[in-house]
Amino acid sequence: MSVFDYTLKELQEKLHNKEITVTDLVKASYQQIEDVDEQVKAFITLDKEAALEKANQLDQEIDQATNPLFGIPIGIKDNIVTKGLRTTCASQLLDNFNDPLYDATVVQKLKNEKTVTIGKLNMDEFAMGSSNENSSYYTTRNPWNTDYVPGGSSGGSAAAVAAREVFFSLGSDTGGSIREPASYCGVVGLKPTYGLVSRFGLVAFASSLDQIGPITKSVEDNAHLLQAIVGSDEMDSTSVDVERVDYTEKLKNGVKGMKIAVPKEYLSDQEGVNEEVRQSVKDALKVFEDLGATCEEVSLPHSKYAVAAYYLIASSEASANLARFDGVRYGVRSENATNMIDMFKMTRSEGFGEEVKRRIMLGTFALSSGYYDAYYKKAQKVRTLIKQDFDKVFEDYDVVVGPTAPTTAFKVGEKTDDPLTMYANDVLTIPVNLAGVPGISVPCGFSEETGLPFGLQIIGKHFDEQTIYQAAYAYEQATDHHKKQPSLGGAK
């Protein structure tokens, strides 16, 4: 067996029994990257020398290790700041941001857990995209079939885990950017409750929507990784001080007696959900019922407005957040300007890609005098209605279940000329961000036509990640979808 076939718990046993070393794990990660990343293109920056040095240090400390993440190689999405390690947001504007002065809070927490950072993962530029085709460097490919996209914006984070280049990774989710690539790549991805995980050190896209979350091979591993990164942070005023819980405590309690809501809108032709995806969800609901849960149809009536509301809110916040990238303090500055005003204009024109410019322009328009009430303010009112839909359902149900994405992954280049169709791919994940509730994607089947994976989305109440993990683990253990591995270059 490959070391990548073991769970975190099994790896810790082998480390303590001296069957393997941290150095072995790090070398295995870099060897896999050398073998497959030319096809997958998951990484932008590697940190091999520092990682091997860290591994050697940790090998001397193994007898004192007490946590499940000790010595495990991890990949970090390239919009999460890492001290001394290049952080680009996959943008040419930050191409020379080689030596950040601090770590994001989540990175520091992982260092405290003694993980080993392998490198920075590719993404859609400034996290704006659903396919990873908006990276200014190259498109990450889906390990199940490299003709297809891995999803976005955390496409590199999901692809690296699926391709067994790292044991787990961190991504960020603004409108589905962890869950959609997790679905497309056949791995487990969680978007935590807004405020559960500090955003300090996450380069902001839409501040009221962004959340950092874990991507792993299994539900149990995901719970361990979330455990390490949660907690309030004085550096992030939106982080919430809630009682710490053990996310693995109720994993094996099963779903007997659990009430599951199934929104009719999430299985509708109108939302573009194809028949294979719809059937895979129905099969998953049958598994839940066989395990003792009750599944009932409900309605989330304002979901149909989610995409329009999201793109107004997210683009407006992006317009404000990205105003700081002007070539003055850090990042690449245009060499063609002859005065200050031209320097601002040319730096942003040359540094930002087309999708980033599109969203900045949309957001600036929505916030402008005379249009603010008609667009941004109205979108925020719709957001409240969407949240109230979830609140009402959660009065009677434990979790909401549906597809993560309406289809499997699409081919590279298939939708690049149609941004509106691309935006619609997030129709099932966006409501979760607007409401601030947590959601997880777990593998739930494979397309007979393409062999590409589907994802099942399980949505929970605010700060009730425990119940989400409980339901996801029960489903995972009753199926074998998570055990399948991609054959690079073509789907199995």
Task: Give the catalytic positions in this structure.
Answer: 77, 153, 177
Give me the DSSP letters along 249-296. Answer: TTGGG--TT-EEEEEGGGG-GGGT--HHHHHHHHHHHHHHHHTT-EEE
d(CA 319, CA 359): 7
d(CA 154, CA 108): 20
- Per DSSP, the three-state class of 38 is helix
Pairing of strands 439-446, 188-191: antiparallel
d(CA 278, CA 280): 5
Q: What are phi and psi of 330, to 5 degrees?
A: -155, 170
**How many residues appear in the chain?**
492
- H-state helical runs in 64-119: 105-112
Give me the DSSP letters along 431-452. Answer: HHHHHT--EEEEEEEE-TTT--
For 269, 286, 295, the CA distances from 467, given in Å and listed in that order, are 29, 19, 15
- Contact between 187 and 162 (Cβ < 8 Å): yes
